[in-house]
Structure formats: C-alpha cells, structure tokens
Structure 1
C-alpha cells in the first residue's frame, strides 16, 4: 500500500508560514549541504521550475509519483502562469472553487478528499506527497502515514500551524533526525497504528 507523506517546512516554534501561509523565512537556509540534500535525496518534492534551475529536471522519481496540494499552494503557481507546477508528478489539487482543471496533468478534487486519498493508496506506485497548508493537512490528518519536518533555525512567534482542526493527540514514532550546516534539521516520523 502506498503511503501519504506530509513533508513540510517549519520554524523552530512549529509554524509553516505567516498567517497567510507565506514561508519566505525559510528560503535563506536553502543552501550548502541542505540544498544538496534537496537536489539529490528529495528532488521529487521540488517544483518543476526548481528542478530545472538546479539541473535535476531529468532525475527519476524515487520516492513520490503523486502530489496533493491545496488551492492556496496551487494559486502561487497560477499567479506566475504555471498550470502544472509539479509536472514530473501526478498532480491533484483539492479545491471546491476550481470547476475545471487548467492543465491535463492536474486533477481537481472536490468533495471527499480523504476518500480520494484512500483510493490512491490502493494503487500501485510510489508514495503520495502532501504539499499544502494547515487546512489541507487537517482534512487529511487521519490519512497521513509519515511526517517529514524540515525545521529551520528561526522563531517567528505566530502564523500558520502544521494542522488545522480540533485538539487531538495522534502518536507518531521517531524514525530519523538529520542536521545540516545551516542549522536546518530534518525529522521523520511514522504514524503509530
């Protein structure tokens, strides 16, 4: 069975962006050995434009072949005229307001998103990358099998949390911790079932 991985950047105090979801605070740390890690071990998760800029656009997908993102994340691409921001992956966008996909590579999912994810998990293939904000992660909280947090060495004080929704303690087991020169720490957790 395929797994759903929520791979997200966060501040030390656990925020993934400002109140509107902007995560520019993290960009200054994407350099050195951490950038090499992204290019060599996490190239699947890079937008197609970044893959091209970093010279890894021909890299074979090794971990993910599908991405689910929310409307707000997708709007960032649409704002610059990109209708398929992750062209190297099968793209799903969760939206109740987009009625027709602007790109043949992008499937618009409205309605029961969790049911659609359960269907995807039953298919053959690589993993499913959850790329989005708190609302999307909150909707899919029960379906998340793995969380990978890229923690940046900055405190922002307030902003968007990793998950929206009611208070509830879901347990995850620590799988790996990896530190980089610029102070970024990547921590991987697997859901306890």
Structure 2
C-alpha cells in the first residue's frame, strides 16, 4: 500500500507560511549543501519550470509519483500562467472553486478528498503520494497522513499558516531520521504510529 507523505517546509514554531501563506523567507536557506541534498533525495518535488535550471530533466522520481495540493498552493502557479506546476507527476488539486481543470494533467477533487486519497493509496506502485500543501487540506487529510517529512527553517514567525488547520486531536508519530545542515535547516522524518 502506498503512503501519503506530508513533505513540508515550516518555521521553528510550526508555520508553513505567514498569515497570507507566503513562505518565501525560507528560500534564503537554499545553500549548496542543502540544495544538493534536496535534489538527490526529492528531485520530483522541484516544479517542472525549474527542473532544467536545476539539472533535473530526465532525473527519475525517487519517492513520489503523485502530488496533492489545495487551491491556495495551486493558485500560486495559476497566477503566473502555469496550469500544471508538476507536469512530471500526476497532479491532484482539492478545490471547490474550479469546476473544470485548466490542464489535462490536473485532476480536480471537489468532494471527499480523504476517500480519493484512500483510493490512490490502494493503487499498486512503488512510489508514494506527496501532500504538498496547504494547511486546510493537511487538516482534512490528517488521519490519512502516514509520514511527515518536515523541513524546519531557523526562523520564528510568531503567527501564520499552521502545518495542519484541523480540530484538536492527538496523532502520534515516531521519529525515524534527522538530518542537520550547516545553514541551520533540520529535516526530520516521522512515521505514523498506527
């Protein structure tokens, strides 16, 4: 069975963006060591438009073959005229505002997102599903998340968009791997206790 992995960047205090969802301040930590790690371990998470500049054209996916994102995350691409930001992956967008997909590679889900994720997890295949963001769909899918890969940046936001916009419920995870970088970024991988 495939896993749903919430692979996400956040501040030290657990915010994935400022109150408007902007996380561009985290880009300042993209030094050579960290970028080399990201490209080696998660090459498929680089948007299609940047894969050539990153030297990733033709580099196969290592972890994920499907990306799931909410309309807020997808809107960032649409606002720049990009209708398939991860054209090298199968794209699922949770939305109630779009009624027709602007791209044949993008599947819109307006109904039961958790049920669609369970269908995707039940498919055969060696690669997993990447929950890209944002907070609202992470909250909707909190019970479906099997793995967390949290890229913690050495910044404190104070307030902003939380990792999960959900009602209070304790969900336990086990720490598997910690990777620390010279720039202060810490990448932690957790597995869901079931």
Instruction: State the TM-score, normalizing by the size of structure 1.
Output: 0.98
* TM-aligned CA deviation for residue 46 of structure 1: 1.3
- 2:168 maps to 167
1:51 matched to 2:51: yes
Question: What is the RMSD computed on CA atoms of the aligned residues?
Answer: 0.8
- Please list every run of 5 or more consecutive structure 1 residues that lacks an aligned counterpart in the other structure: none
Q: Check the 8 A contact 1:32/1:181 in 2, yes or no.
A: no
1:6 matched to 2:6: yes
Q: Secondary structure at the match of 1:67?
A: strand
Q: Secondary structure at the match of 1:54?
A: coil
Q: Distance in 2 between matches of 1:25 and 1:72?
A: 18
* TM-aligned CA deviation for residue 157 of structure 1: 1.0
* TM-aligned CA deviation for residue 154 of structure 1: 0.9
* TM-aligned CA deviation for residue 50 of structure 1: 2.2
Q: Distance in 2 between matches of 1:29 and 1:184?
A: 7
1:124-163 matches, cutoff 5 A: 124-125=124-125, 126-163=127-164
1:123 matched to 2:123: yes
Structure 1 residue runs of 4 or more that deviate by more than 3 Å after TM superposition: none
Q: Check the 8 A contact 2:42/2:61 in 1, yes or no.
A: no
Q: Secondary structure at the match of 1:16?
A: strand
Q: Distance in 2 between matches of 1:37 and 1:50?
A: 16
Q: Deviations over 1:149-175 (max 9, x none)?
A: 000011111111100111111000000
Q: How many residues align?
A: 193
Q: Secondary structure at the match of 1:25?
A: helix
Q: Distance in 2 between matches of 1:155 and 1:11?
A: 6
- Please list every run of 5 or more consecutive structure 2 residues that lacks an aligned counterpart in the other structure: none
Q: Deviations over 1:97-151 (max 9, x none)?
A: 1101010100001110000000000111210000011101000000000000000
